[in-house]
Amino acid sequence: MTEVSMAKEDVASTGDLVVLKSVNKHFGALHVLQDIDLTIARGEVVVVIGPSGSGKSTLCRTINRLETIDSGEISIDGRPLPHEGKELARLRADVGMVFQSFNLFAHKTVLENVTLGQVKVRRKDRKQAEERARTLLDRVGVGAQADKYPAQLSGGQQQRVAIARALAMEPKVMLFDEPTSALDPEMINEVLEVMQQLARDGMTMIVVTHEMGFARSAANRVVFMADGRIIEQATPDQFFSNPRSDRAKDFLSKILHH
């Protein structure tokens, strides 16, 4: 079983990395994701924008199976999402996620936060895992904070640790759900810069954000959602200069003149 799925993975090593086909999801009577078709190529950076409540977070959460779907298909690197057990833990490691709230382990040091998953899920030797953790913490500019606890760090620093923690697992794709929305303004750029660098390094990224500067400079594509649907998608240039739908025009006029 394992050998067969590994062989499949080898075959699927190019092209589309994340594929959603006709995905539907309800919360009770609310049809929160409606026939979502979305394909993300390896190395592509997709920014998802849209009004509050349009289903952006739910979309992200279905991709690493924090939420189940009612119908449709989601695959990562040519394999359908696993449902449970070790396979699911591995999927969660393959799909790095950074949320709005800095969800670090409060009672572990920064270094432990970035080491733990590598040892537990990726079965790495602790010493190697710590080395990798330190390298990544340096890369996101918080190497000097390694022995502190999350609460001793600023929000911007914590969010960069969260990025390092996800990267430590060697994810195939990174999901960011409004990673700067809870930050004080002066800390937003230090997080966006780390994300910009990741994008330049070729990481496949799905980013929900209201930071239009980031979308313009880092995204290959902008996906606009409203009421559980993808209303339009285009390159940032096309989308910002010439949004086609009234919903997108209305949304842009609100956030750009705000």
Q: Given the rule CB under 5 A, which residues bind Mg ion? A: 56-57
CB of 120 to Mg ion, least distance (A): 28
Q: Which is nearer to ligand ADP, 100 or 109 (CB)?
A: 100
CB of 183 to ligand ADP, least distance (A): 17
CB of 33 to ligand ADP, least distance (A): 8
CB of 67 to ligand ADP, least distance (A): 8
Q: Could you tell me what percentage of the chain is helix, strand and coil, using 3-state DSSP and rounding each to the nearest 5?
A: 45, 25, 30
- To which residue do tokens 């910009």 refer? 196
Q: Which is nearer to ligand ADP, 54 or 157 (CB)?
A: 54
Q: Determine whether 42 is exposed, middle or buried from the number of CB atoms within 10 Å of its CB (0-12, 13-18, 19+).
A: middle
Q: Which is nearer to ligand ADP, 31 or 216 (CB)?
A: 31
241 binds, among Mg ion, ligand ADP, none (CB under 5 to 8 A by kind): none
Q: Which is nearer to ligand ADP, 13 or 103 (CB)?
A: 103
54 binds, among ligand ADP, Mg ion, none (CB under 5 to 8 A by kind): ligand ADP
Site residues for ligand ADP per CB under 6 A: 27, 30, 32, 50, 52-58
Q: Rounded CA gap, 258 and 256, in Å?
A: 6
CB of 238 to ligand ADP, least distance (A): 22
105 binds, among ligand ADP, Mg ion, none (CB under 5 to 8 A by kind): none
Helices (H), the chain: 2-11, 56-63, 85-94, 110-120, 126-139, 155-168, 185-200, 212-218, 236-241, 246-256
From the CB of residue 242, how many other CB atoms can be counted at a distance below 10 Å? 10
Q: Determine whether 56 is exposed, middle or buried from the number of CB atoms within 10 Å of its CB (0-12, 13-18, 19+).
A: buried
CB of 207 to ligand ADP, least distance (A): 13
User: Do the bridges between strand 30-41 and strand 79-80 make them parallel or antiparallel, or are there none, so unpaired?
Assistant: unpaired
Q: Which is nearer to ligand ADP, 34 or 109 (CB)?
A: 34
Q: What are phi and psi of 73, to 5 degrees?
A: -140, 140
Q: Which is nearer to ligand ADP, 53 or 213 (CB)?
A: 53
